[in-house]
A and B are shown apart, each in its own frame.
Chain A
């Protein structure tokens, strides 16, 4: 087969005045603007583009479009590029994939010689045993894996994301799809028309006859004059619940790809039909192409696909291909008409070329075999909408059965007809889509209490009164009297499928997974029906009886870049963050928050807090402002301890449990006024606790008068900790007596701080030092922070971060919910049993905790490794002696700068909880170390004298 460029074609999409130079396997080539990589190479006479996946057979053009299984190439650092679709660009460096040492001398083609051993399930059967050799097998097999090369140094490129709410999305811009879009838009709908190819028009683009060309020009002009949003080189990849659509746009002017998430009121599915290859001996040989491929090559890119052709045709499109070939100067040596019961049996020749075609016992010399054996209905989007298409043997393809009312099919998917009939069906579909979309829009608005009132009643759900398209008779052509390739992407032949059925894998879903048929790059678009037909033949049943595999998203592959895309997750920083950044902060991400972890030396930060004074930005601390007379009731319900007697100006610690008794959150709540409290939660629990509180108030106790406002970000929070903290705070606070007698531990005061009114502060201590936690209106956070740094310069004030705070709280043995507890930790395991008041009438989790009261539960204990230098990994297991019996685990571990030794918290079985118990800790390295349970949770200052001072 020798291809070459024809004279100018009236339908061609190339610009012959613009030559693009590129490389193919290191050699220089050129093509025209508008060429695909494959059409440019074909025009230059290339006819082998790849080696097949398993047998490394030479492969040429088959379908000349996106789905062509033989046209996966590497372009620069971009692997698995579809050369039948990707447009040529100047300077492209294109190479063949899956070949070694070269495309034309591929050593692994020897696989083909042993192909009878590489049958279905070969890898499963051969490399299963012995299992210890699997790493060796894996290394060798990995070199046989198909696909291109990923370059880890590829620069990040911009992928965009967009949300859209069109009334009607039309998937497929052939004549029916365009008419549907135009009709829907004319009826007032906002319409998005999505076309997989680079231009609209569908099969009209490569149809030579003048009426088709005129129709295409007319449709394009109408589209240009309409309000329809047209997305070319874009694909509706998935349809999900309530017409939630994924659309990948490859033609975005800036982004490499853009993922559009669209909520369509009605989806029109108009993908047309995909031509199906035919199974016979040698059907994967270069030179055997589909009739659509022949017509695309000639009419779109002016490429002459061969010199002497045999045409196997069973339909009008095959006949049109024969006419195109003759017009292009290709000698049509024979036409084998499938409608007369004639079949092609073999394509013969040397490995890389076609020499002759055998049909009905006659051998015809030819370098090109054009096959028009029938169509596959790409019903993917209908499948995803829950439809199960039905096979019609008379038409030899699947048809939609009963999709939901907001999904409408039109075009070739729905039936056959003359161009004007297809267009009329499309237009009727568009009108119906617009009517139904209006009803859906009305319903949406009417159900939105806060929306503008809708006028009138909801429009009636328009009945489907479209005149159905007819179904043309078509012979069932799947396999000839010889065996051939069914799945060219995966190198699965009809013999493999027959063998799989014989081995018991005779359900199509099983056979698919066993043989990997339909699981390659063509994703079933070309090979699904042939696979079903092969299984049906092996089972002696009909295709309808066997059924088909269910097409799942995505319709066409999309890159991980498109899926990851642009992130819309917010990033939160406190108002003090600019200071941190200017002062050498190392940040840590905690949920959405970016927080100071430390400023270079966390151990030094700890020492400074223990000897002088330090300040930490704890703004992400969850804060809920509570107002109303029933707050004590609410607190009694949420926390395990009692709240009825908390006086104004007092603060109390509380622990919350879920209804299963598992620790949910903890924090302090202070009473600011008679009916005004401030509740704090853990930083990570802020959002969840709010929902939890609202759930109780809205569903279980709607009669309670409590109003909850989240104020986490309304206040910047700064903890001032250390022996000199009182002195520092006194320098910035006005009007509050800070003496220990007037402002005791666990009390709260409102104050003016550094001139900022409306602040409050409380004396609590996570670090174990004398400390004051200031909550100031967020806009003044930076000002107060800077005032503290300035006022405390002579006191040695310094910032400390989360790491320093974590070390100090561990020195003090304070547990962190979610770090030292997990989803099974019942409240008594924290050692806080005095705070669990089982005599209360009710609180969340009460019954479980009551039943747990006489059970022996694992306990959180303080642990010190016997070797003070060894800091066990968090989650290191506590085991019994030399056995692997697990008796607990280390939940927190740090080197304590204060004590100069490793300190830990851990959860242990009750038998090990007593102070002085010797433990064995199994490190990740396998080493076992000795450790001792401490008498008290606090490794440092167990009496709490520093804190209360």
Chain B
């Protein structure tokens, strides 16, 4: 079972959390085309490598948070901060 580093509660069994899946921005519902909206609903990058994803610490602090996980190794790291050279592709 994965050990997920909750920023408040520390490493926690993944069963203590809800997996929110790949992090993705919500399109503006006023202007989104069906293609954009359904991309938001159903299309995921699913990379073999670093992935930004959301978790909900439902048995602990009740916070939704975002982390980066390497899907090939299950290594976690904090998401890049503004100005971080690692950048993001979101």
Contact = CB atoms under 8 A, between A and B. Distances in A.
Nearest to B64: A698
B43 interface: no
A846 interface: yes
Contact of A240 (B1, B9, B40, B54): B1
A162 interface: no
A209 B37 CA distance: 76
Interface stretch (A446-454, A627-635, A721-729): A446-454
A699 B64 contact: yes
Contact of A449 (B3, B8, B26, B58): B8
Given A241-B3, A448-B10, A691 B26 contact: no
A445 B5 CA distance: 11
A700 B10 contact: no
Interface string B1-45: 111010111110100001010000010011010100100110000
A595 B5 CA distance: 37
A241 B41 contact: no
Contact of B1 (A241, A687, A699): A241
B3 A660 contact: no
A476 B10 CA distance: 50
A242 B2 contact: yes
Nearest to A688: B18
Contact of B56 (A451, A695, A851): A695
B10 to A, nearest CB: 3
B20 A695 contact: yes
Contacts of B58: 687, 691
Secondary structure type dominating chain A contacts = helix
Contact of B3 (A242, A842, A846): A242
Contacts of B29: 842, 846-847
Contacts of B5: 447
A445 B34 CA distance: 46
Contacts of B32: 847
B35 to A, nearest CB: 11
A153 interface: no
Contacts of B11: 444, 447-448
B80 to A, nearest CB: 17
Nearest to A842: B29
A445 B64 contact: no
Contacts of B41: 659-660
Contacts of B26: 659, 700
A650 interface: no
Nearest to A242: B3
B37 A691 contact: no
A263 interface: yes
A165 to B, nearest CB: 11
Nearest to B23: A699
Nearest to A661: B41
A116 to B, nearest CB: 48
Contacts of A660: 41
B3 A847 contact: no
Interface of A: 240-242, 244, 263, 444-445, 447-451, 659-660, 687, 691, 694-695, 698-700, 841-842, 846-848, 851
29 contacts: A240-B1, A241-B1, A241-B2, A241-B3, A241-B74, A242-B2, A444-B11, A445-B10, A447-B5, A448-B8, A448-B10, A448-B11, A449-B8, A449-B9, A450-B9, A450-B10, A659-B26, A659-B40, A687-B58, A691-B18, A691-B58, A695-B20, A695-B56, A698-B64, A699-B54, A700-B26, A841-B30, A847-B34, A847-B37
Given A244-B13, A699-B54, 19 more contacts: A241-B2, A242-B1, A242-B74, A244-B3, A447-B10, A448-B8, A448-B10, A448-B11, A449-B8, A449-B9, A451-B10, A659-B40, A659-B41, A691-B58, A694-B56, A698-B64, A842-B30, A847-B32, A848-B37
What are the 7 tightest A-B residue pairs by CB atom distance, in nearest-first order?
Answer: A448-B10, A242-B3, A244-B1, A698-B64, A847-B37, A847-B29, A241-B2
